[in-house]
Structure 1
Amino acid sequence: MNLNLIDKLKEHPDLISDATDQQYTIADVSWQAYEAFLADLGDDFPGFRVHYLEGTLEITMPGRKHEVSKDNISGLLRIYFEETRTRFYGLGSTTFRREAKRRGAEPDVSFCVETDKEFPDIAVEVVQTDGGINKLDIYQGLDVPEVWFWQRGGFVIYHLRSNGYEQSDHSEFLPNLDLALLATHVQSPEPLDAIIAFRSAIREALQ
């Protein structure tokens, strides 16, 4: 299963689109096969995102728009952490997995806040395609307290409660962060201009 897909991509790199995301879902994948797939990916396809939920494997090949959004979100959040003097630990797209729960995820962006931890406090998923496996189910099994989805030009945020995730209009880790302001700059066609303007807005708000 794993070798066939990887070999196919190596033989036909044109199957990977620069413009749009491509997503593959494979059912009935054992935990051992999932781990073997991650090992086989290695450094050949570092940009891929792999999610696993109770035997279902989802592989996302991010397109250009996806990667630009991911990079903008990460960069702007780092500026917010710096300007507000919030201690942070950037974990990027680290693979997080828990065999006992049969769950694994590779968020687009992830951070621990205030202290470093095994799993992130905030996981961000850039959504460019419909469908796919339920990523909140994955993150609940990993006990990630806050999950952000970037979709349709805005953020949708979920907080983990005792009975599952609850949608919210703000971040509990960054309660003073203006999400609308952040979203505006994530969408800017000029990343440098966005960084300068976002930093300036934060400093003004802190005065």
Structure 2
Amino acid sequence: MEVDIGKGDVRTIQRGKTWAQFEYLQKGFEDTRGLKLCYYNGTIEILMPGAAHELFKKIIAILIEVFLLDRQIEFEPTGSMTRKREGTAAAEADESYEIQGAKLCVEINFTSGDESKLLCYQELGVDEVWFWEDGVLAVYSLQSDGYQKVSRSQISALAAIDLTIMSECILIGETSRIEAVNKFRQAHPIASD
């Protein structure tokens, strides 16, 4: 078992586990608020997010939702619901959405987790995964040969977002959500008809 701690997050990795063991563990933790579980290829990841983790996931959610709401684009906020492919993969994103038929998952990473989680999301058919790590937002779009890092979202409703500005706004949001949203809106004006 591996344990990693970063900015209040505690991540535990257990390898060589079966789907049945994952489901048993999941059932045991179902009343544990905030705990996140992931299973892929015999590996179980248990994440207990800290305060900074929760703050950044919420800031990113606010900015995504402001962008969509300002443009009157319908979306379904699916939060950290468990996505599963029975016997193979399961993941609970920090935030997730369904936008015009596309699935988006957002991951905050303060510990040694890495983009290997992309293989799990690929198995689950998630169209795009956004990682926040070390003050930078990285976007991965699912292509026919797996995820590719892209400079703009490939989800058409989000393609106009400037990811550099969004990263700046996320950092601003650490101290002022209002200032972050105001800067984000200024950088992403709504086109008039």
When the two chains are superposed, the root-mean-square deviation of aligned CA atoms in Å is: 2.0
Stretches of structure 1 that go unaligned for 5 or more consecutive residues are 1-16
2:37 to 46, 50, 55: 50
Q: 2:159 aligns with which of 175, 179, 193?
A: 175
Between the aligned partners of 2:164 and 2:91, the Cα distance in structure 1 is: 27
Using the alignment, how far apart are the partners of 1:48 and 1:107 within structure 2? 11
More helix by percentage: 1
Give the structure with higher Rg (CA). 1
Equivalent position of 2:96 in the other structure: 110
The yes-or-no answer on 1:92 pairing with 2:79 is yes
Question: What is the match of residue 24 of structure 1?
Answer: 12
Which of the pair is proportionally richer in strand?
2
Q: TM-score, with normalisation over the residues of structure 2?
A: 0.87
Contact 2:6–2:110 (CA under 8 A) maintained in structure 1: no
Q: Which residue of 2 aligns with 1:138?
A: 120
Task: Tell me the CA shift for residue 161 of structure 1.
Answer: 1.3
1:190 has 2:171 as partner: no
CA distance in 1, matches of 2:191, 2:9: 38
The 2-side partners of 1:183 and 1:41 are apart by 33
Residue in 2 that maps onto 1:35: 23
Cα separation, 1, equivalents of 2:168 and 2:133: 13
1:62 and 2:46 are equivalent in the alignment: no
SS of the residue 1:198 aligns to: helix
Asked if 2 retains the 8 angstrom alpha-carbon contact of 1:160 and 1:166, the reply is yes
Runs of 4+ in 1 over 2 A off after TM superposition: 195-202, 204-207
Q: Does 1:206 align with 2:188?
A: no
The 2-side partners of 1:155 and 1:38 are apart by 29
Show the counterpart of 1:3.
none
**Unmatched 5+ stretches in structure 2:** none
Tell me the distance in 1 between the aligned counterparts of 2:176 and 2:114. Answer: 31
Tell me the matched-pair count. 184
Q: 1:133 to 1:57 in 2, by over 3 A?
A: farther
User: How does the TM-score come out when normalised to structure 1?
Assistant: 0.82
